[in-house]
Structure 1
Amino acid sequence: MLTDSQVRAAKPKDKAFKLTDGGGLYLQVTPSGGKHWRWRYEIEGKEKTYTIGSYPNVRLPDARSERDEARKVLQAGRDPAKEKKLLRAIGSVDPAQTFIATARNWFAQRKDLWTERHAADVWRSLERDVLPSVGHMPINDLTPPIVLTVLKEIEARGAVESAHRTRQRMSDILVHAIACGYGTADPAAIVAPALRPVVRGRQPAITDLDEACAMIRKTENEDAHPVTLLALRLLYLTAVRPGELRYAMWDEFEDLNGPEPLWRIPAIRMKKKREHLGSGPINLLN
């Protein structure tokens, strides 16, 4: 372990030499008399060097402290030298032009077009899978390999369809930056062919009226809760989405005992945010 007096007393020689401290930290003394702190580390099987700073601007305790912080970054699976370079670059970039700032602006302009639940799902997916990795990056520093790395991590947990949705959202955000005048490219569009394809199973549907009636009769004979059977009957008559049926309120139904009963589904519960009207008697069982 070095001492401050050893560092202070180190004299230049004809060739550069090192004074090692420990944990990969060393002081490199150049022939011109410069004293520079370096940290040697290994990542992905390759030895690399992390530049800390020069003595006496960076004292021995400060050099050790930065080495320890860089080691934490390495233990988290990231390259400390690349991260330091990136953080320096961020300092000279408009904060509004980072990926997270662009994502927030993009989301704010679209969330009113979505249901509250869908909007929450979109932002939650970005917070979980994208922002921790690239949120702090300047939007124009994202490259296809960086984007693909983010998406492959989603794929690795078996969420192939989520990886494709996330790629589309990243692409939308990057295009938003281009439209705003500071984005230059959409690397998320480029990586689409590198993702595993989504394999969808068959989704058979009954298209014959006789088969539909047979299915309904079979369902009616099931030992189900009376409320469930009533809900299914309403579903047969209206073909609405399950969520629209589940959250129906009595005050949405008009003239139930009249010749033209009407169910007025509020726009807030509709996928397209438009009010839906369903009316008229119908009987599929006969």
Structure 2
Amino acid sequence: MLTEIGCKSTTCPPDKPRARFADAGGLYLEVTPNGSKRWFWKYRSVGKEKRLALGNYPEVTLKQARFARDDARKLLSTGADPVQQRKVAKATARVSSANTYEAIARELHGLKEREWSAAYAGKWLRMSEANLFPYIGPLPLDSITPPLILDTLRRVEKQGKRETAHSLRQYAGQTFRYAIATGRATADPTAPLKDALQAVLVRHMAAVLTPKQAGQLLRDMEIYNGSPVTREALLLSALTFQRPGEIRQMEWAELDFDNALWTIPAVKMKRTKQAKMSGRPHYVPLSPQAVESLQRLKPLTGHHKYVFPSLLGEGRCMSENTVNTALRRMGYDNETMTAHGFRAMARTLIVENLNVAPDVIEAQLAHGKSGPLGMAYDRAEFMTQRRKMMNEWADYLDKLRQGADVVPLRA
């Protein structure tokens, strides 16, 4: 039988590929000329001689190797083959490691990244890496329970990030539903959590919503003593009521002065990635007042790509904070008016005062519609109604700025 001292002193003659030193019960230590020492247990199964590797010496001591031999012998006595059992265990471990939450989530992200917008895909992975992977990422999907996910989301809630917690629940749900579809999970543990999280209190963009307030805002814009380019950006925000990003990225090449039309390419619109790639552009009829504003800008920025270029360098458009900063300088705080608020202002005042069909307003706002007729609202057949509305809206704003008494027109 071997001893610990004997194991340490064993060597393999240089003229042999290996040397074996027997212990007892089929256990032996195999030594190679380069000094490597490995434990093996020799046994017979179904009439065939086999051997089971038990680890390297000295990481596995003589005592530990004997315990491992005895465990394998007990397994063999039940009729199971130790080598086959080990193969099954390794295969199971590989499957389990491939079925962890993080592995499946990253697989889903890789699959969807091409169809998600770059911003959404980046946010999805970034938030998952920060808030989900450290806690449930290493766990097999079948071991993740609703209380475990809820505890993970509660960590985010305690930081005051309620909306983030709801987004993370959505991301986890997408991952589990993908796992179910691919046969690697049988249930979505995020489903019962819908009412377990604190509600998100939706806060609408600040906007002036009455004719009196709008009139004062327009007068304040008229006497704004900042950059004339910024003043026109404020005015065109009111006249066109498009999204702030679309206005500041307006290009001279997109403007058709002969037809008083601004064509916003689909890629610039707030749409899905697929709609950005293959959707129709958004058409914005320009009122005479909007055309005059753009003509005032032509000598100032007409040599640039953008109607509202950045002051920080050629090839960039105006900062997203420029209009909001101008509103702050005019005395309108974040609770009163924002750049995005011009859309709400127009939507409210047009409905209440200009007798325009809501569908036409929604089309001009480029709000998506659900159902089979959804995108029909963005087709040229509405251009007559849109153009009429935009001209009436510009005239209405002129009256408000002048302080005239405006009588609402009801249907």
Cα deviation code 1:179-230 (max 9, x no counterpart): 2222211111212322222233465654555643442223333333222211
Choose which of 243, 246, 257 in structure 2 pairs with 1:244: 246
Quote the residue 2:124 is aligned against: 122
Which whole-Å CA distance do the structure 2 matches of 1:203 and 1:137 have between them?
40
3-state DSSP of counterpart to 2:263: strand
What does residue range 37-48 of structure 1 map to in structure 2 within 5 Å? Answer: none
> Structure 2 vs 1, CA of residues 97 and 161 (structure 1 numbering), >3 Å: closer, same or farther?
same
Choose which of 89, 104, 107 in structure 2 pairs with 1:105: 107
Which whole-Å CA distance do the structure 2 matches of 1:171 and 1:115 have between them?
19
| Unmatched 5+ stretches in structure 2 | 6-59, 66-89, 288-390, 400-411
| Contact 2:156 2:164 (8 Å CA) reproduced | yes
Does residue 63 of structure 2 align to residue 56 of structure 1? yes
Which whole-Å CA distance do the structure 1 matches of 2:267 and 2:251 have between them?
13
Identity %: 33
Give the root-mean-square deviation of aligned CA atoms. Answer: 3.0
Cα deviation code 1:130-152 (max 9, x no counterpart): 12222222222211122112111
Of structures 1 and 2, the one scoring higher in RCO (CA 8 A, sep 6+) is 2
Counterpart of 1:269, as a letter, is: K
Does residue 260 of structure 2 align to residue 261 of structure 1? yes
Which whole-Å CA distance do the structure 2 matches of 1:124 and 1:102 have between them?
15
| Contact 1:90 1:138 (8 Å CA) reproduced | no
Shift of 1:125: 0.9
Quote the residue 1:135 is aligned against: 137
Cα deviation code 1:219-264 (max 9, x no counterpart): 33333322221111221122121122222222222x22x2x22222
Does residue 398 of structure 2 align to residue 285 of structure 1? yes
> Structure 2 vs 1, CA of residues 229 and 134 (structure 1 numbering), >3 Å: closer, same or farther?
same
Quote the residue 2:160 is aligned against: 158
| Contact 2:177 2:188 (8 Å CA) reproduced | yes
3-state DSSP of counterpart to 1:233: helix
3-state DSSP of counterpart to 1:197: coil
TM-score, normalised with respect to structure 2: 0.44
Counterpart of 1:141, as a letter, is: S
| Contact 2:266 2:282 (8 Å CA) reproduced | yes
| Contact 2:221 2:235 (8 Å CA) reproduced | no
| Contact 1:90 1:137 (8 Å CA) reproduced | no
Quote the residue 1:68 is aligned against: none
TM-score, normalised with respect to structure 1: 0.61
Shift of 1:95: 4.5
> Structure 2 vs 1, CA of residues 195 and 242 (structure 1 numbering), >3 Å: closer, same or farther?
same
What does residue range 68-217 of structure 1 map to in structure 2 within 5 Å? Answer: 91-93=93-95, 95-201=97-203, 205-209=207-211, 211-217=213-219
Counterpart of 1:265, as a letter, is: I
Stretch deviating more after TM superposition (241-250 or 110-119)? 110-119
| Contact 1:140 1:183 (8 Å CA) reproduced | yes
Which whole-Å CA distance do the structure 1 matches of 2:177 and 2:204 have between them?
34
Q: Which has the larger radius of gyration?
A: 2
